[in-house]
Chains A and B, each alone.
Chain A
C-alpha cells in the first residue's frame, strides 16, 4: 500500500527536550501511537497537524510536502480528548464550522450535517448544546464533524480516555465502522492496550522523543 503520511528525518527541540522522528504511515490504515507520558506522542501528532514546525526534515501527506503549510491547509481532521465542541454553540453550528469556517451553509450542507448526526447515533440533536450531552455523545458529535469534513487523514489524541470502559469499547467500534466506510487514514494516540489491540493495523511505540518500534498489530486480537 502507498504511504499516506511520511515524516522524513524530522528534528525538533522543545525546551530541553529533543525529538527526532522518521516514519511512514500506510494509506487507509489505523496507526496507533503508544508510549509513556511525556515520550513525545502528542508532539508527533502536533508535527503532522502543523501545530509544531520541525527544525529540519520534511513532512509529506498524500505525496505533498506540507512541512511549512498552515494547519488549515493540511487535509486533516482532528479529535481531541475533550473540548472538541464549542460549548456555547449548538451541534449544527459546531459541525457546520467543519464544513465552512465562516458558517455559510447551503441547504445541502444542512442535510449532510443532519445525516452525519444520524450516522453517529445523534439523530435529532441538531439544536442541542454540548453541555446537555454526555461525554460519549460529545465525542460522537465530534465524529459527525469528521464525517462532513471528508478529509483523508484523521488524527486523534486519546479520544476515548475520558470515557468509562464500556462506552470506550462501543466508541471504538463506531470509529472502526466509520473508518471502513470512508477508508481514511487514522492516527490514534492511546494508552489503552485493549483499544490498541482492537483498532490498530500498525502499532508505533514512542519513547524519549523518538520512535523505538513500529510493527504490524500481530498480537492475538481481543475482540477484533
Chain B
C-alpha cells in the first residue's frame, strides 16, 4: 500500500479511460467492417481470389522467415567468435539500423542496388548473364524481408551466444573441443532455445508486412492480405471483398499471436557489443577466412542499400526539394501528425502503466481488478491483432457517408499511428517506471511526498529521459509510416512517405530518392535524439 487512495483512484480511472477510448476506436472500426450491409458480403468471405492471397501471404512469410533465420545464424556465430573484429561494434550498430529505418526508404535503397539498373544487375550483365534478378514479385519481397529481418535475428542470436558464461569458452578451450564439438555442445543448444521465439516474431512481421509488398509486390500473383485490402478499397472500390480480406487478416494474426504466446519471447535487452567475451577457438586460417567473409558479406548486404539511398539522394537537387512547397507542406503535416500521435502514445502508455501499478497496490485485488490489469496489457498491443489497414478500412467505410473522408484523415492517421507505436512505447516506459518505483516508492511514501510535488521532484527528473526516448521513437515510427496514410492519402492529406510514394508511382525517381534521403535524415535525427536522452535518463 504505497499509494494514497487518491493516487490509486486517479491511476485506475486514467487506465479505464484509455482502455475505453482504444476499445471504442478499434471496436467501432471492426464493427463497421462486420456490419457493413452489403448483401453480397456473405459470399465473399472465401473465394478463390482470397484463398490465393491468403496462400501467398503465408508462403512468402514462411520463406522470408526461413531465409532470415538461416542466414542470420552463421552471421551471429561468426560475430560471436570474433569479439575483436575490426569495427565490430559499428557492424552490430548497423544491424540495428533497419529496425529504425522507415520501410519505404529501405525499399528504395534495395531497388537502388538490386533493381534493373542497380549495381548487382549491372555487375551480373558484365559477367554475361542475360536474365537480370527481378526486385519485383516474390524475389523482391523475400529480399526485402531478409534485409529487414536478418539483422534483427542476427542481433538476437548474438545476444543468446554472448549470454553464455565466460567459463564455457575457457573450459571448451582447455578441454580441446574442436569447432564442431563447440557447435554441438555450446553454440547449438544456446541458439536452438531462441530459434522458435525469433522465428515466430519474424513470421508475424512478414505476414503483416504492408509497405514492402505494396512497393515490391504488385500484381495479383504477389499480394498479401494487407495490400489486397488496400487495393480493394483504393483501386477497385469493392468493400465486400475488402471486408472479407480484413476478417481473414484478423483471423490469421489472431492465430499467429495465439501460437506466439506459446513460444518464449525473444529477449534483446542485453545487447552488449562492447563486452569482452574471450574466445580462443577459431584460430585456424580457415575459420578466420570463413568468419571474415561471412561478416563482410552481411555488412555489404546491409550497407549497400543504405549507401545507395544516400548517393541517390544527394544526386537529387536537395535544396530545391527541401524548399519546395510540396515538401514543406508534407513535412508540416507529417510532423504535426507525428507529434500528436507521439504525445498521445506516451500519455496513453503512462495512463496504462500507472493504472497497472495502482491495481497491484491494492491489498486484495479482486477478479475485476486483475482482469482490468490484464486487459490493459492486452490493449497496448491490440494493433498487432487488428492491423492498421484493417482499422483504416473500417473507419473508411464508417465515415464515407459523412462526406469527404480526407477531412477526418489527419486525426485518424494520428490515432492509428498512436496505436502502432503503443507496444514500443510501453516497452521503453514500463521497465523504466517499474525500476524507478522500486527505488523510490517506499522512501517517497514514508516521507509523504505525493501528488504534484512528487511528480516534479522525484518522478519527472528521472522519467523525462525515457519519456523523450519513447516520444522520439513513436514520432519516428509515425513519420516513416505509409500503412495508415495509404487509405486516406490525397492531395489534401500528404505526409512525407505518401509524397515519396506518389513521386515513385509517377516515375519521378530522382525526386523520390531526394525526398527519401530527407525523410531518412529526419527519422535518424529523431532516433539519435531519443537514444541520447535515454542514456541521460539512466545516468541521472
Contacts and interface: CB of A to CB of B under 8 A. Distances in A.
Contacts of B167: 80, 82-84
Contacts of A86: 168, 171, 185-186, 189
A83 B165 contact: yes
Given A86-B185, A89-B185, A97-B185, A78 B174 contact: yes
26 contacts: A49-B174, A51-B170, A51-B173, A70-B280, A71-B174, A71-B280, A72-B173, A72-B174, A72-B175, A72-B176, A73-B176, A78-B170, A82-B165, A82-B167, A83-B166, A83-B167, A83-B168, A86-B168, A88-B189, A97-B181, A97-B185, A101-B176, A101-B177, A101-B181, A102-B178, A102-B181
Which of B175, B178, B181 counts the most A-chain CB atoms under 10 A from its CB? B175
Nearest to A155: B174
A82 B165 CA distance: 9
Which of B165, B172, B174, B283 counts the most A-chain CB atoms under 10 A from its CB? B174
Contacts of B166: 83
B315 interface: no
A86 B167 CA distance: 9
A105 interface: no
A83 B185 CA distance: 14
Contacts of A71: 170, 173-174, 280
Contact of B175 (A82, A88, A97): A97
A30 to B, nearest CB: 20
B180 interface: yes
A18 B189 CA distance: 39
B274 to A, nearest CB: 14
B174 A76 contact: yes
Contacts of B320: none
Interface of A: 49, 51, 70-73, 76-78, 80, 82-84, 86, 88-89, 93, 97-98, 101-103
Top 3 A-B residue pairs of the complex, sorted by shortest distance between their CB atoms: A72-B176, A83-B165, A83-B167
Contacts of B185: 86, 89, 93, 97, 103
B278 interface: yes
**Interface majority SS on A: helix, strand, loop or mixed?**
loop
A11 to B, nearest CB: 21
**Interface majority SS on B: helix, strand, loop or mixed?**
helix
Given A71-B174, A83-B165, A101-B175, 17 more contacts: A70-B280, A72-B173, A73-B176, A82-B167, A83-B168, A83-B171, A86-B168, A89-B189, A93-B185, A97-B175, A97-B177, A97-B185, A101-B176, A101-B177, A102-B178, A102-B181, A103-B181
B224 to A, nearest CB: 38
Interface string B152-163: 000000000000
B171 A78 contact: yes
Interface residues of B, number: 21
Contacts of B174: 49, 71-72, 76-78
B83 to A, nearest CB: 14
B175 A84 contact: no
Contacts of A93: 185
B157 to A, nearest CB: 16
A71 B177 CA distance: 11
Contacts of B280: 51, 70-71
Nearest to B175: A101
A98 B185 CA distance: 13
Contact of B177 (A51, A83, A84, A102): A102
Interface in B408-446: none
Nearest to B283: A70
A76 B174 CA distance: 8
A93 B189 CA distance: 14
Contacts of B176: 72-73, 101
Nearest to A49: B174
Contacts of A77: 174
B327 to A, nearest CB: 51
Contacts of A78: 170-171, 174
Nearest to A74: B174
A83 B171 CA distance: 9
